[in-house]
Structure 1
Amino acid sequence: MSDKPKEQNQQEPQQSVLTKTLIIGFASGVLWSGLAALAYYFHFSEVSAASFLFRSYWQTEWTGTWLAEVLAVIIVGVLSLISALLYYMFLKKKNGIWPGLIFGLVLWAVIFVILTPLFPAIPAFMELSSDTWVTTGCLFLLYGLFIGFSISFEYKEFNESAN
């Protein structure tokens, strides 16, 4: 027997781009909604994930606790799989930061302008403070950038290694 360590010529099996897209979607949902919860806690924003998901439909004491925020962050991570799949289906071949930024901005507009009437605990768009607009807008821009750049990069890397 030799005391030399074996060389690692074996490569890990490649995950599909779709699998990585799902991982990116969940991780980005948890990351950015977690930061949104912190922004809510420090009063940079009037809304949090728990405001949308729980306080709009249940007026109980637990919806104002940290447990509600943690559960909402996890649920947003799961819901983020949908937006990651949408990006994968329609924009994965786009390179650069602009497609992701635009994706994040459109997602922000859809949630805060179009879907707000579905969430009674959230004030109408024009009733939200400018701090909330800027904070949530920036978080969604960064979310879109994270999703977009990560998925496009994985798609490009996967196709280059396949050739």
Structure 2
Amino acid sequence: MSKQLQVQEKNTSEGSLFLKSLSIGFVGGLFWSSIGVFLYYFNMSEVAPKSFLLRSWITESWTEHWLGHVISIILTGILSMVASTIYYGILRKTLALWTGIVYGLVLWGVIFFVLHPLFMNVPAIHQLDMNTIVSTLSLYVLYGLFIGYSISYHYSDVQSRKEVNN
């Protein structure tokens, strides 16, 4: 195989890996924020995705209904692409469950502690009940695990295919 073809193949596989990471982030955001809405509806959490993304800045009545949830789920999917890009850039080479779990814990801490002043509609962490804390923490851990393991597994799979082809 010529050197130019090898470089082109490497760039193509890295590009497809990055696009796959973006799609993993989008789907993960959609799925896990939908679970967040489920937790909110069944009173397992005091906060829903709309509490963060819509109700903190928009006080229109439509944000309280199903349309608010749908728009929040879609926005979470888009923002999740940023989280997956960060994971892809820093941690994609680690194929361990613990990395994704810790990533989810870090994201939870960033959202509930660091970025909390941006979300005026969400109570401070010390004002939330234990069900909300445990539910949201579990949700973020599962989200981090999904993002982390999916991206790392796909990266590892692409690398092993490259080794077989060479």
Please give the alpha-carbon distance, in whole angstroms, between the structure 2 residues aligned to 1:19 and 1:57: 31
Q: Distance in 2 between matches of 1:156 and 1:58?
A: 42
| Structure 1 segments of 4+ aligned residues over 4 angstroms from their partners | none
Alignment correspondent of 1:45? 45
- Quote the Cα distance in structure 2 between the aligned partners of 1:102 and 1:162: 29
Cα displacement string for residues 57-96 of structure 1 (whole angstroms, at most 9, x for unaligned residues): 1222111001110110010000000000000000001111
Query: What is the aligned partner in structure 2 of residue 101 from structure 1?
Result: 101
1:17-72: CA deviation from partner (whole Å, max 9, x where unpaired): 11110110000000000000110111110111111111111222111001110110
Separation in structure 1 between the aligned mates of residue 109 and residue 144 of structure 2, nearest angstrom: 12
| Counterpart in the other structure of 1:16 | 16
Which structure 1 segments of 5+ residues have no match? 1-12
Alpha-carbon distance in structure 1 between the residues aligned to 2:43 and 2:122: 15
Q: Which consecutive unaligned segments of at least 5 residues does structure 2 have?
A: 1-11
What is the letter of the counterpart of residue 94 of structure 1?
A: T
Instruction: Report what 2:152 is aligned to.
Output: 152
Distance in 2 separating the partners of 1:75 and 1:59: 17
User: What's the TM-score once normalised by structure 1's chain length?
Assistant: 0.90
Amino acid of the structure 1 residue aligned with 2:103: F
Q: What fraction of aligned residue pairs are identical, expressed as a percent?
A: 43
Query: Number of aligned pairs?
Result: 151
Q: Which has the higher helix share?
A: 2
Residue 31 of structure 1 corresponds to 31
Corresponding letter in the other structure for 1:148? G
CA distance in 1, matches of 2:16, 2:158: 8
Q: CA RMSD in A?
A: 1.3
Q: Which has the larger radius of gyration?
A: 1
**2:129 aligns to what?**
129
Deviation per CA, 1:121-143, whole angstroms, max 9, x where unpaired? 00011101111100000000000
